[in-house]
Chain A
Amino acid sequence: GAVVSQHPSWVICKSGTSVKIECRSLDFQATTMFWYRQFPKQSLMLMATSNEGSKATYEQGVEKDKFLINHASLTLSTLTVTSAHPEDSSFYICSGGQGAADPYEQYFGPGTRLTVT
């Protein structure tokens, strides 16, 4: 159980375009979803935390107007990278948590590799 899917698994786009990444919890209700970014040979860095029906909470240094997060339902969250630039090329991973039921356990999606040319 506790499966999270992401779509697309990889995407190549031109500089200046926007890209939407979907994250779905397939067999559980994710009251909280987390978005991470991982650059080569670096650790996962938390970008934002979103609770269903609420605005996302962004980590320091992450531009909320550039990385739009929507968590409209308990099984779906989306991350939109607006006006993407080559420096946004990275591995984006989402995870879902069940909130109070198990606050520290997160189930990770397979990740989306974004390349901006």
Chain B
Amino acid sequence: RKEVEQDPGPFNVPEGATVAFNCTYSNSASQSFFWYRQDCRKEPKLLMSVYSSGNEDGRFTAQLNRASQYISLLIRDSKLSDSATYLCVVNTYGNKLVFGAGTILRVKS
């Protein structure tokens, strides 16, 4: 079983739609959680950290359920520029990050 699992997609949505991505992690001792965004042939960029209480940054909302070892990302009012691969990332051992394979989002006009 992979340490971090994501639905690879692709999710094809129209502009303005709301889309949700899910992620599960296997190590219950994981301490920190993140969503990164990666554009084609580029490095990953931090989108937001994920906290147990849930957190929001503009159109983006992240949730963490430690009991279920489940992380989610909700994007409201999708823009064309949101098209990218979204990576679920977990800190499991010391300062190491473990990346999921990513979920592809394609927003179409």
A44 contacts B by Cβ under 8 Å: yes
In the assembly, what is the distance between CA of A51 and CA of B50, in Å? 27
Contact A46 B96, beta carbon cutoff 8 Å: yes
Contact B32 A104, beta carbon cutoff 8 Å: yes
Looking across the interface, which residue of chain B has its beta carbon closest to that of A113? B41
Q: Which residue of the partner chain, among B45, B91, B100, contacts A104 with CB atoms under 8 Å?
A: B91
Contact B95 A44, beta carbon cutoff 8 Å: no
In the assembly, what is the distance between CA of A41 and CA of B41, in Å? 11
Instruction: Give chain A interface residues in 81-111, CB to chain B under 8 Å.
Output: 91, 93, 97, 99, 103-106, 108-111
Instruction: Give chain B interface residues in 59-109, CB to chain A under 8 Å.
Output: 87, 91, 94-102
In the assembly, what is the distance between CA of A104 and CA of B100, in Å? 16
Q: Which residue of the partner chain, among A43, A45, A103, A111, contacts B43 with CB atoms under 8 Å?
A: A111
Binding site for B on A (CB under 8 A): 32, 34, 36, 41-46, 49, 91, 93, 97, 99, 103-106, 108-111, 113
Binding site for A on B (CB under 8 A): 4, 31-32, 34, 41-46, 87, 91, 94-102
